[in-house]
Structure formats: structure tokens, C-alpha cells
Structure 1
Amino acid sequence: MANYFVGDVQGCFDELELVLNKVGFNPSIDCLWAVGDLIARGQGSLQTLQYFKSLQGSAKVVLGNHDLHLLGVHGKIKRANPKDNLGELLASPDIGALVDWLRLQPLYQEYPEQNILMTHAGIPPLWDLSTLRNKADIVAEALQQPDYLTALIAKMYTNSVAHYSDDLSELDKKIYTINALTRMRYLYPDGRLDFDCKLPIEQCDNPQLSPWFTHHAILHPEHTLVFGHWAAIMGEVNSPALQALDTGCCWGEHLTLWHLESDQKITQNKLKES
């Protein structure tokens, strides 16, 4: 059995197929872990969701910000961004079943035997494992409720909840959890989320900001943290206990697959569009 962790696919299904073929991925014995943002930007969002759904227990997925946004678009809360290439997916007769499948996916995954934690964007440095489990599970439960669109999705589109506190309302705690686990890149010294800067670390000119993974953390480096979301850093982190797997395939770079057992990275360049 092999465990493969893949970065943000973002609808780049052809590249996903090619990189999995390179390693001989066999869903009957192997497991494919995905850091979220399965859809958007690439031309194959429909095929990507159909594939991961078909893998059943051979895939472990977390939700990314684009996946959550799809729930809002499908639910008529938001309009689709034309750049996201969601037309085929939204028009598919499978869209209802695929959205229902997405709603069942968590915001974090664990591989306790190897002390591995996977989220889309990272984990707030001051959160311990019980906090991560509790806060993320509360959001997952909310996504499975009949009123998930009005009670959560319609209200998550805000930058106003940037710092966690026990004094937050229950709704704001959910929104912070979504913001932190699916949108986080830079933090202020007090741990407050910054939602504006997406630049590579060496290009960030705000001296108050630093990458979330450079802050003193409870879970790292005792746990290996696997994440995506931040294509601008192209996987460049300074700890062997961090695996940053978004390498910008949808932006013309490449898709990255991390083979856990050999600690090797396998890549597939973005194909030229015909």
C-alpha cells in the first residue's frame, strides 16, 4: 500500500491522470490524499470531482476555499467567476450528487500512525489537536444540515473574522475556522489573519506579516502538516515537517504528488492547451 498526497488540482484532471499513471496508483491498495481545491480554473472540474467521488475509501479529501465556493454558486448564493470554468460542472446531471458528496468532506484529515495532519491552507499555530478536531467537526456538521446554505455558506463571505476568541459567536467561530483552514497565508504578530497578501515570502513588503507556518506552533513540528492553497511559494518551506503541495498547475506550473513512504515528490507539468 502506498499513500500519495496531491496538491491543488483545480480542475487539471489530465495532469492528475498523468501524475497518477507515473506512480502506478492503484485504488484497490493505495490511498490518494487531496489538499482541497479540487475544482476551478482548469478545464476538468467535472471529471476531477467524479473521479475522487468514485474512489470512495481510497481517497481522503479536505475542502478548500474553491470547493466551498462551489456550494455557494450551486446554491445561487454567489455567481460563478467565468475564470473558474465551472460551466460544464454546473450543467452536469451529476452536479447535485457531487455537491452532496462535497458537503460530506471534512476540513481536516489525520494519519495518526505517521503524525500527519492535512488541511487546505494550514492550521492556526495556537490550535492543539483537540481544538482542530472540535472546530473543524462543527463546521462539517453544519455543512450537512438542510439549511447549510442560509445558515453558513451565505454568511462565510467575510474578512471581518480574522482572529479567534472564545468570545466570538458560534457563527463567527465557524467562519474563523473556515477562514483559517481554507484561506490562511500570512499572519500578523498577534495571530490575526491577513486576507490580502498572496505574494511569495521574499516579495511581501509588509514587515508586520509573516507566513503562518513560521509562528511558534503547538502541532508543528511534532506533526507533519500537509497543505496547499499557496501557489506563490511553490512548495518552498523550511521544515521537513511541512509539505506545501500547491505548485500552481492551473497557473501554468506543475502538479505535485508526495509519496509518503519514499518521501519523494513526483510532478507533472501543465499541459499546453490546444
Structure 2
Amino acid sequence: MATYAIGDVQGCYSNLRRLLDRVGFEPSRDRLWFVGDLVNRGPDSLHVLRFIKGLGPSATVVLGNHDVFLLAVSAGVATLRPQDTIQAILSAPDRDDLLEWVRRQRLLYREPPFVLVHAGLLPQWSLDEAEALAREAEDALQGAHREAALRALYPSQHLQWAPGLTGPARPAAIIKVLTRIRACSRDGVMESSYSGPPERIPPGFQPWFAVKERRHRDATIICGHWASLGLHCQDNLLAIDSGCVWGRELTAIRLEDRQVFQVPCNGDQ
């Protein structure tokens, strides 16, 4: 049995299937861990969702910002933009089943020594705290007041996490951290707009995983979200968004030995 962590697919269905052929994935034997952003910007988000949903217990998924955006659009909280490619999901005959499946996915998955999350964690969060906060936000997304939480997230440029947050802003801030963080200050203030390479981060901020004081350094965080960072592996970090949707590569890492597998992605654009 092998477990493969897979970077941001973003609707690139044929590339995903080629990557699974490349690693010799067998659903009855192996597991796939997806770092989120299953959908959007690529050409075939509908088939990506149907395929991964159909994998059942062979697939573990955490939500990314594009997956949350799909939920927000379906709820009438956010509006489609010209670059979005999720329309086929919203008009599909199995739309409701797919959206309910997306809504039931986790924001953080922990299986020591690994933590699977889309974007990252705030430096002041311990692993136990991050896991508890993720469960809290998941409950909000699945509960009767989920639209209120999504409305607090769109727009969210000035939203920052604070322990004293209450109401819809609290789960919205948790979701923002887990699905959007790239850079932050030493005390956990997020830089909300930057998506470029780490060496150009605005003054006063640094990559979230570079904060020396962060409280979860003993775990290996598996994440995506930061295409400009690219494939970046170190002792306690596997950042595997290698820019598939931007015509670069789709990456899988076999967790047992950290072997990297990639397929070029120009053919799916």
C-alpha cells in the first residue's frame, strides 16, 4: 500500500489521470491525499469532482479556496468571474450530490506525522488548536448557517484571525487561514493579497512556514495553494502546488519514501 499526496488539480482531469497512471495507482491498495483546489481555472472540473468522489475511501480531500468558492457561488454569495470554469458543475444533473460531497470534505486532515491542509497554518496555532478550529469551521460550512459564514468570507481582504472572534466572522477567518495563507508576520497577521514568489514578499511578512517560532514545527505539513513557490520540500514541509493549471506540472509525492512523480500539463490547457 502507498499513499500519494497530490497537488492542486484545478480541473485538469486528463493530467490527473496521466499522473495516476504514472504512479500505478490501484484504488483497492493505495490512497490519494488531495491538497485541495480540485476545481476551477482548468478545463474539466466536473469530471475531476465525479472521479474523486467516486474513489470513496481511497481519497482523502481537504478543501482549497477554489472549492470553497464553488460553494459560495452555488449559494449565491459570490459571483462567477470570466476566468472561472465551474459552470459545468453548477448546471450538472448531479450538481446537488457533488456540492454536498464538497461541503462534507475536511479543511484539515491529521495523520501523524503528517498534516494535510490546502494553504498553511498560523504560526501561533498548535496542531491541536488548528485541528479543533478546522472542525469548528467545517461544522459551520455544513450547518444551517453556512451562508452566513460564506458571506463573511466574500470579500475578506481585511479579515484576520483573533481568538475572540464571534459570529460568522470566526469560521470565515479560520477558513481564510487554512485555504489562503501564504505570507504572514511573526505574530500571525496575514498578508491577504500577495501571490508572487517568496523573495518578493512585502516587507514585514514572510512565508508562513518560515516563521521560526511557529508552534507546529514537529509535524510535516503537506500543502498546495502557492504556485509561485512551486514544489518545495524540506524536513517538515511538502509544498506541492507545481502550477499544473499554469502549464507546468502536476505533482504527486509518495509519502512512504518522499519520491516525487510529475507529469507536464501543457496538454490539458
Whether TM-score is above 0.5 comes out as yes
Normalised by the length of structure 1, the TM-score is 0.93
Q: Secondary structure at the match of 2:70?
A: helix
Superimposed CA distance per residue, residues 72-119 of structure 1 (whole angstroms, 9 cap, x where no aligned partner)? 11122222123121222221111111000011001001122xx10010
Q: Secondary structure at the match of 1:84?
A: coil
Deviation at residue 188 of structure 1 after TM alignment: 2.1
Count residues with an aligned counterpart.
267
Aligned match of 2:142? 144
Aligned match of 2:265? 270
Q: Where does structure 1 differ by over 4 angstroms across 4 or more consecutive aligned residues? A: none
Aligned match of 1:166? 163
Aligned match of 1:244? 239
Q: Secondary structure at the match of 2:133?
A: helix
* Range moving further from structure 2, 240-249 or 140-149: 140-149
Q: How does 1:2-151 map to 2 (within 5 A)?
A: 2-112=2-112, 115-149=113-147, 151=148
User: How many Å separate the matches in 1 of 2:136 and 2:78?
Assistant: 23
User: How many Å separate the matches in 1 of 2:165 and 2:74?
Assistant: 29
Aligned match of 2:252? 257
Deviation at residue 273 of structure 1 after TM alignment: 5.2
Q: Secondary structure at the match of 1:168?
A: coil
Q: Secondary structure at the match of 2:55?
A: helix
Q: Secondary structure at the match of 1:83?
A: coil
Deviation at residue 145 of structure 1 after TM alignment: 1.4
* Code of the aligned partner of 1:186: A
User: How many Å separate the matches in 2 of 1:126 and 1:190?
Assistant: 7
* Code of the aligned partner of 1:251: W
Deviation at residue 20 of structure 1 after TM alignment: 0.4
Normalised by the length of structure 2, the TM-score is 0.95
Gaps of 5+ in 1: none
User: How many Å separate the matches in 2 of 1:96 and 1:15?
Assistant: 26
Gaps of 5+ in 2: none
Deviation at residue 191 of structure 1 after TM alignment: 1.5
User: How many Å separate the matches in 1 of 2:68 and 2:164?
Assistant: 25
2:157 and 2:193 in contact (8 A); partners too: no
Closer, same or farther: CA 75–170 of 1 in aligned 2, 3 Å:
closer
